[in-house]
Structure 1
Amino acid sequence: MATIKDVLADALAHHRSGRLAQAAAGYEAVLGTVPDHPDALHLLGVAYLQAGHPREAEARIRAAIRADQGVDGQGVADYHDNLGSALRALGRAEEAVAAHREAIRLRPGFAQAFYNLGNALEALGRLGEAADAYAQAAALRPDYARARFNLGNALAALGRAGEAADAYRAALRDDPGFVEAWANLGALMLQRGEAAGAAGVLRRALALRPDHATALANLSAAFLASGPAEAAEPAARRAMVVRPDFAEAALRHGDALQRRHRLAEAGRTYERAVALRPDLAEAWANLALVRQTQGLLDPAEAGYRRALALRPDLAEVRSNLAYLELFRPGVTLARVLEAHRAWDAVHGAPLRAAWTPHPPDNEDRPLVVGILSGDFRRHPAGQFAIRAVEALPAQGVRLFLYANQTEEDDLTARFRAAAERWLPVSGLTDAELAARIRADGVDALIDLAGHNARGRLGVFARKPAPVQVAWSGYMATTGLAAMDALVADDHHVPEGAERFYTERILRMPGAFIAYDPPADAPEPAPPPCLEGRPVTFGAFNILTKLTDAVLATWAAVLDRVPDSRLLLKTKALSCPETAALWRGRLAAAGIASDRLTLVGATNSLEHMAWCAQVDVALDPFPFAGSTTTLETLWMGVPVITLPGETFSSRHSLAFLAAAGVEGCVARDPDHYVEIAAGWAADPARLAALRARLRGQMAASSLCDGGRLAARLAQSLRDLRHGRP
């Protein structure tokens, strides 16, 4: 006949094999004979817990604790630990913490109790204490991969990314087949800007579990950050197939489509993401960006506001909202200032209490200038800055470049060659980067992004340098109290406009940038109209700039010049549905489809060739062209512009003046039409301009990096030394 011991052993064997019902029956049989049998009560409670019945588990385990008569506490430590797990499952995390602590008191080296204590503390949001508990569990059991994994999760949530990565790697040394550790390490590396490495780690996770939807979605994001968008789309699409309800997969798929200029598809995919998860702020923000790129300002604003209602801490989204104001018809400097100060009030002001004084300056040593940018590459900000940056060391400047980017090109190589120190920083948090800049002893820190993509205004808001200056990458005030100055010129910020800028205005001679034209640009040829073709007007600006007033003015230009044509070229028109939308908008404005050519994204050489295909370029308003104006002028084409009062409305005015081109600046829309028609009617004048303009530009302040660097360096010294 079986003894109580035999029945208990039998039940325990079933339990270890996962046969919970048989195990529970065995424990009940023991209790039928010995109602207060501590081990049977405890193990029955554990079986109930594992079967998803924590309330029944709590009752049995508490009964076991009452029935236990042991004096060494070793056995009953398990009871308290499992009681804690039952309490946590019931949502009573505070009681769970007490139970696990009692288990540890009874058995100080109890690794599992430390692990479970960490889980209970994490449930309470006490992440620092949870991390300590997981670390103790891992120290007590060398192969405890799950404790190291949870330690990584807690550290990641605390923003201690480097330590979190170390914890994940330790978990993987213990268990190389730990899929979630591979997936979380990959996600963390992606977050830190290590996209290429993240892709390799995420592939390891997917080799172990090909249908891991989160790893697939993050692999798509890693491809987007480190390689061609074509590679990102299949991974995101696969994640959506694996988990049709996974909003984050739809989000990543939308990102891949957007990068490939498939805007309408991206918009529908983001709409799917917000339908699945209406609280997913990033999806609302990205949908808004698609609408902005399509030139739909009101839907863009609505999307950004929805994202901020869900996540007021999203500084980048609030930047996008401020930036959107620059495109609005009738925009004023006062409105621009208000919109940008709103960003600082939420994201900048709370950091001011932590500002600390900088040491006094020593005028005898070289000035240390730091430049922070994600655009040390073939990007407008890089092309505007490179010549002056290359000339700064000759002005007695020690140059530290903080690169918030991972990709490199020929322009990147030139920036690196100019710098005393080249410091990749995309993986650093704003706080970490600010601390690094302060430790480097930077005297003047320059921003090349502002509220644009890859901007790090959260760094500037921490005031890591005694002098902070905005230059070249943004076309308005930053609105930051922490930003001391803004580099401009007499045309962009005329006398009297200073009161609408939070920054002191540093006026440069001639132009506030030094343009570096594409080396492979074709030589200017005679205007196409001289070959007997119809006059072609051209615009190469983003759709966001094309307001109803702009379209009406352009329609009037075409009416004044019979048989003329309009060429529109911008990346967004690579999307067929977006192109169809704009054909409709242009037709509604009075521009017939047979007078219209729409062109999407091309490479740089092809783009410059398209610029040469127009006789006269038409500038939008109230946000004028900047790079597009310079590229068009470089091909010898006049640009007709209508400046307003804002910085962003006055680019073409400033560049035309610096290049010495007259007769292109309008007073109002009617004058704009008159000027454009006048140029179109004078092919000889167009030909003469084409013949001389490139040389004229090259010899002007527009391309003079040395002159700009000299004034900029002196202005920075004056600021650092407190001189007016």
Structure 2
Amino acid sequence: MSGLPTPLNASQDLTAAKALLMAGDAAGALALMRALVAAEPSKHELRYWLASAALGAGQADEADGALNDARLLHAFALIRGFGGDVQRLTKDPQYAVAVADMLYDANAIATAGVALSLAISAGHPDLQALFTYGLCLHHQGRAEEAALVFRAVTESDRTTAQAHEFLLFSLFFVKDGVRRHAAEAREWARLYEYKGPATALKNSREPGRKLRIGYVAPSFVRQQARQFVVPLIESHDREQVEVFLYPTEAAGETDWAQPVTVRAIGALSDQDAAALIRKDRIDVLVDVWGHNPGNRLPVFGRRVAPVQVTWLNYQQTTGLTNMDYALHADSVPTPGMAELFTETVWTVPRISAPFRPDPQARVSPAPSLASGQVTFGSFTNPAKVSDETVAAWARILQGRPGSRLLLKYSYYEDHILARVTAARFAAHGVDADRLVFDGHSKGEAYENAFGLVDLALDTSPCPGGTTSLEALSRGVPVLALRGETFYSRAGLAIVKEAGLPDLVTDSWDDYVAKAIEVSASPARLQALRDRAVAGFAAAPYRDEAGVARMMEQAYREMFELWRVKA
């Protein structure tokens, strides 16, 4: 067997390798695991431990290979478990795609990715399969691999801007992501932005008149953006602004407490949608969606309003030459940020959007008061759980003996993703029994999950947003890191303005030390929870009318710059 000695007792050797890894001797664990895998190459569990040891020993390439082997062997076992035909999976690409689609719909994204990789390796020509494979990689946090796949899709299909936008989104999560995204967004605009003659706008330049404000998004009352957009729309001063909404469909979008004009544009071409918006004589048109699926950025590319602004759900540049402003809170800008945007970065004080918590949000006491065990938690998309984040979280768990980490997201229902995540922590000396994985839930079960968390841990350099606000709305304090880029700072105001500036840290060392410090006792965690409850209630993003006045002022100032321009 490749010249390596066969272990005399595989079980004892695996136990010894785990013990070495937990004690910080990754090199010793790696030597044992190499011998174990050579002796029993078909066992995926051994491959995972080999990957952990290789990661801990700084052997990244070996770790990647071991993880790929582990995923493949594990996927075969899982697919056999629900009656799938593994032999057919390796020979019939159509069957592999069908199995993958079923797995993907069940949130088993890593297992689906293995099935799709087999179909693609067998020469399956369907771009949709390649696209879904990219999504599988992205959802696992394999951002560089996902970007390569999305680039292949983009280069194979230049007929639609949407395919290219998934490449843009994947670049949020790669190394040097904001710079790479900025360059790719400009390339997207070069390829797809409207280049025809401009249509003259007929907006009145009368000073001080009521402004006509338009918002563009697939929906305003569904998806997570509703908690930010709905309170703003409802709080606008109708003496100062007239509000127009341009969703995909009108159904469900017309029931508003104050007057709103709703014009569905989902069935319209970009040209026709642009003509409709121009006819409405919108003064300030606000893109709520960025390059996310369902956007209508090409309409903005046709210059349909004197002032065009991107806001809220994307944070980064659209790349469009006809997008005038990108609106951010003044806590976000960093040196060099302006050069990354084709838009002018317009800042507003403290926060850039209101937030309305779910009506069923419920505050509960710090769970460690009853259990005696400290529970850290993250409800963030696994795509945001960077290697730096894992290393910091592992140091926190080691520094707070007996504590655990709850990782909750729908994709953790995938056994492979959960096991890979555990392997990443094991590389830092944290055993799987310190980790709790939980999938999607709603209603009472979702509320109960927040009641299990003493301290929420934010990710970096890709921070949480809605997840942090949802935690704070239930009294769960959130620990954040002030990163080096504007994007990594997008969530700082959420924590700071909830009266918790001491939970905004300046380095990973500070982040780890703060988590260990505040989790010293259940009483201290409860005191922090009490502060979070009071701070969230008084946060400026809870002042819906105040945020609306601030936004209206920004819109008027933007419009005034256009109005007086020759």
TM-score by length of 1: 0.61
1:508 and 1:708 in contact (8 A); partners too: no
Q: Does 1:301 align with 2:147?
A: yes
Alpha-carbon distance, 1:417 to partner = 4.4
TM-aligned CA distance change 1:273 to 1:472, over 3 Å: same
Identify which of 410, 426, 432 aligns with 1:571: 410
Identify which of 166, 178, 192 aligns with 1:320: 166
Identify which of 511, 521, 543 aligns with 2:382: 543
Could you say which structure has the larger radius of gyration?
Answer: 1
Q: Does 1:260 align with 2:260?
A: no
Match of 1:338 in 2: 183
TM-aligned CA distance change 1:692 to 1:559, over 3 Å: closer
Match of 2:495 in 1: 656
1:573 and 1:598 in contact (8 A); partners too: yes
1:525 and 1:690 in contact (8 A); partners too: no
Alpha-carbon distance, 1:544 to partner = 0.8
AA matched with 2:224: P
Match of 1:361 in 2: 204
Match of 2:134 in 1: 288
State the distance in 1 between where 2:321 and 2:398 align.
48
State the distance in 1 between where 2:197 and 2:277 align.
16
2:203 and 2:282 in contact (8 A); partners too: no
1:370 and 1:400 in contact (8 A); partners too: yes
Pairwise mapping of residues 470-485 of structure 1 onto structure 2 (< 5 A)? 470-485=310-325
State the distance in 2 between where 1:596 and 1:246 align.
36
AA matched with 2:425: L
1:608 and 1:631 in contact (8 A); partners too: no
Pairwise mapping of residues 512-591 of structure 1 onto structure 2 (< 5 A)? 512-522=352-362, 524-591=363-430
State the secondary structure of the residue aligned to 1:676: helix
Identify which of 197, 204, 217 aligns with 1:373: 217
TM-aligned CA distance change 1:419 to 1:593, over 3 Å: farther
CA deviation string 1:669-693 (max 9, x = no partner) = 1111101101111433321232242
Identify which of 426, 431, 450 aligns with 1:592: 431
1:621 and 1:642 in contact (8 A); partners too: yes
State the distance in 2 between where 1:636 and 1:445 align.
36
Match of 1:226 in 2: none
AA matched with 1:470: T
State the distance in 2 between where 1:385 and 1:430 align.
23
CA deviation string 1:663-713 (max 9, x = no partner) = 112222111110110111143332123224234323221112211211212
State the distance in 2 between where 1:554 and 1:319 align.
31
Q: Does 1:647 align with 2:490?
A: no
2:411 and 2:439 in contact (8 A); partners too: yes
Alpha-carbon distance, 1:406 to partner = 7.6
State the distance in 2 between where 1:455 and 1:475 align.
14
State the distance in 2 between where 1:407 and 1:686 align.
45
Q: Does 1:502 align with 2:342?
A: yes
Identify which of 245, 261, 275 aligns with 1:401: 245
Match of 1:167 in 2: none
Q: Does 1:436 align with 2:276?
A: yes
How big is the alpha-carbon RMSD for the aligned residues of Structure 1 and Structure 2? 2.8
Q: Does 1:666 align with 2:505?
A: yes
State the distance in 2 between where 1:589 and 1:395 align.
59
State the secondary structure of the residue aligned to 1:468: strand
State the distance in 2 between where 1:689 and 1:419 align.
41
Pairwise mapping of residues 382-401 of structure 1 onto structure 2 (< 5 A)? 382-401=226-245
1:330 and 1:622 in contact (8 A); partners too: no
Identify which of 443, 463, 472 aligns with 2:303: 463
Pairwise mapping of residues 238-277 of structure 1 onto structure 2 (< 5 A)? 257-268=103-114, 270-271=116-117, 274=120
State the secondary structure of the residue aligned to 1:327: coil
CA deviation string 1:302-353 (max 9, x = no partner) = 210110121133422322222222222454x4444223222212222xx133
Alpha-carbon distance, 1:253 to partner = 7.4
State the distance in 2 between where 1:547 and 1:653 align.
18
2:143 and 2:171 in contact (8 A); partners too: no
Richer in helix (by share): 1
Alpha-carbon distance, 1:644 to partner = 1.8
State the secondary structure of the residue aligned to 1:463: coil
1:485 and 1:504 in contact (8 A); partners too: yes
TM-aligned CA distance change 1:714 to 1:252, over 3 Å: farther
2:113 and 2:136 in contact (8 A); partners too: yes
TM-aligned CA distance change 1:261 to 1:617, over 3 Å: same
2:405 and 2:436 in contact (8 A); partners too: yes
State the distance in 1 between where 2:244 and 2:484 align.
35
AA matched with 1:320: F
State the secondary structure of the residue aligned to 1:610: helix
AA matched with 1:450: G
* More relative contact order, 1 or 2 (CA 8 Å, 6+ apart): 2
AA matched with 2:139: T
CA deviation string 1:614-658 (max 9, x = no partner) = 111111110111011111112222222222233331133111122
State the distance in 2 between where 1:303 and 1:419 align.
45
State the distance in 1 between where 2:285 and 2:156 align.
33
State the secondary structure of the residue aligned to 2:289: coil
TM-aligned CA distance change 1:599 to 1:496, over 3 Å: same
Match of 1:27 in 2: none
State the distance in 2 between where 1:421 and 1:406 align.
10
State the secondary structure of the residue aligned to 2:475: coil
AA matched with 1:352: K
1:632 and 1:638 in contact (8 A); partners too: yes
State the distance in 1 between where 2:115 and 2:298 align.
30
Match of 1:635 in 2: 474
Alpha-carbon distance, 1:296 to partner = 1.4
Residue-pair matches, total: 474
AA matched with 1:325: L
Pairwise mapping of residues 10-409 of structure 1 onto structure 2 (< 5 A)? 257-268=103-114, 270-271=116-117, 274=120, 278-331=124-177, 333-348=178-193, 351-363=194-206, 365-404=209-248, 408=252
TM-aligned CA distance change 1:361 to 1:493, over 3 Å: farther
AA matched with 2:204: D
2:320 and 2:342 in contact (8 A); partners too: yes
AA matched with 2:311: W
Q: Does 1:704 align with 2:543?
A: yes
State the distance in 1 between where 2:130 and 2:251 align.
27
TM-aligned CA distance change 1:265 to 1:684, over 3 Å: closer
State the distance in 2 between where 1:456 and 1:250 align.
34
2:505 and 2:511 in contact (8 A); partners too: yes
Q: Give the fraction of aligned pairs with identical amino acids, expressed as a percent.
A: 32
TM-score by length of 2: 0.77
State the secondary structure of the residue aligned to 1:353: coil
2:216 and 2:247 in contact (8 A); partners too: yes
2:500 and 2:531 in contact (8 A); partners too: no
